[in-house]
Amino acid sequence: MFDVAVIGAGPIGCYTAYQLADKGFDVLLLEEDDEVGRNVVCTGVIGKEAFERFNIPKDSIIAKINRLLFVSPSNIHLEYIHQDELAYVVNRYRFDKGIFQLALSRGVEVKLGEGVQDIREEGDRVVLQTDNSIYRANTAVIATGVNPAPCPTSRSKAGEGRDVMRCGVNYELQRSAGMGIVKNFLMGAQINLPEYRTYEELSTANSTVEIHTGRRIAPGSFGWVVPSNGSVRVGVMTEKNPKYWLKKFIENRLNQVISNDDGFREKPIAFGSIERSVSGRILAVGEAAGQVKTTTGGGIFYGLLGSEIAVNMLIKAIKTGNMDYLTEYEQRWRGMLEEEIFMGWHIRKLAKKIDDETLDRLFKRFKRGKFLAMRIIRRINFEYHGALLAFCLKAFGGIIK
């Protein structure tokens, strides 16, 4: 019998387990994979604030970002240079492993290769069923991220894209705990490519995140190029067929030839928050609760915030025996993030309707208006985009219509 069982040893599950064990609670961490951090699909861009606020491993950092380069459909460039570091690129394997080691060092009991198949409340405890065992805990945290699930009808009439949306995502644990699901998903695809730039270009490219826009890159979304220790991580986020769009992006925009798609990795990304993140003694945190930026698909900072709030509420609930504290978790994290999540969702819906000519006009308008640019730059925040988006909606409303 544990105080808390955490399901999923991704960064958010490990960080949740670490914080709880650090406060003296008995924590069980269950991970279905045999090794932590092995099968991650992620670009690993994490804002500076996350490293200042949370005890996350700095030795996983492989690049420092202080420049953002936005590229329009017709190749107009907008550059933002931050006076110091804005964000970092991490090696996700080392990042996940580092947080996992922290959890181990605080005495978390870990079971690898133990996928949780079922979770249910029985009286004043939670019962978790894996392939091999049954575990019991006072409370439980679902931190399983977004699981791609094999689709039973992989070539249904609905078309490949909708297949993935409909049955390519497994939210069974949340569903059986009575939380509902995150209703919408985007698909991210990524590949590591050898660095392809000239020596002169490299001096800035090593600290730059490139964001490429346009319907021929990623309709309603964007493609990215991120430095990674002498190579680059190139990816796209789309509603469907991410590999197709990634290939087009690489060939048409980056002028690289991909002989086969062996190195392509893809994964769903939660787009919007879960219906309920608390059910009785069970909470969902991180991507399992939809704590993800709907603008960029970044989930680590919001997940860590969710984890911090969850831990505070779990401690109160366990110490007092009053599980009502857990519902406060839901109110608090939504109070902090829901508006951001909604704003990004709204902008993305709008972005889908914007054609390439309009996007180019927006870039030109931004380049012309020095005063406007200053007002926009003042609102740039790596983690919170709501204020910037609201301002842009007002400033560019005329062009978007």
Ligand X SMILES: Cc1cc2nc3c(=O)[nH]c(=O)nc-3n(C[C@H](O)[C@H](O)[C@H](O)COP(=O)(O)OP(=O)(O)OC[C@H]3O[C@@H](n4cnc5c(N)ncnc54)[C@H](O)[C@@H]3O)c2cc1C
State how far the Cα of 290 lies from the Cα of 297, in Å rounded to an integer.
Answer: 10
- Which of 32, 163 has the CB closer to ligand X? 32
- How distant is the alpha carbon of residue 235 from its chain centre? 14
State how far the Cα of 22 lies from the Cα of 26, in Å rounded to an integer.
Answer: 10
- Indicate the helix (H) or strand (E) that contains 374: helix 370-378
Which residues bind to ligand X, rule: CB under 6 A?
7-13, 30-33, 41-46, 115-116, 143-145, 147, 173, 188, 190, 235, 267, 269, 286-288, 292, 297-300, 303
How many CB atoms are located within 10 Å of the residue 51 CB? 19
In the complex, least distance from residue 136 CB atom to ligand X, rounded to whole angstroms: 16
In the complex, least distance from residue 297 CB atom to ligand X, rounded to whole angstroms: 5
- Which of 163, 266 has the CB closer to ligand X? 266
- How distant is the alpha carbon of residue 101 from its chain centre? 22
In the complex, least distance from residue 13 CB atom to ligand X, rounded to whole angstroms: 5
- Which of 44, 73 has the CB closer to ligand X? 44
In the complex, least distance from residue 374 CB atom to ligand X, rounded to whole angstroms: 28
How many CB atoms are located within 10 Å of the residue 3 CB? 19
- Which of 189, 389 has the CB closer to ligand X? 189
Q: Which residue has the tokens 């003042």?
A: 378
Triad 158, 159, 164: Cα angle to 5°: 95
Number of H-type helices and E-type strands within the chain: 12, 20
8 Å CB contact between 289 and 144: no
- Which of 7, 164 has the CB closer to ligand X? 7
Backbone angles phi, psi at 317, to 5 degrees: -65, -45
In the complex, least distance from residue 315 CB atom to ligand X, rounded to whole angstroms: 20
The secondary structure of 235-253 as a DSSP string is EEEESS-HHHHHHHIIIII
In the complex, least distance from residue 52 CB atom to ligand X, rounded to whole angstroms: 15
- Which of 284, 362 has the CB closer to ligand X? 284
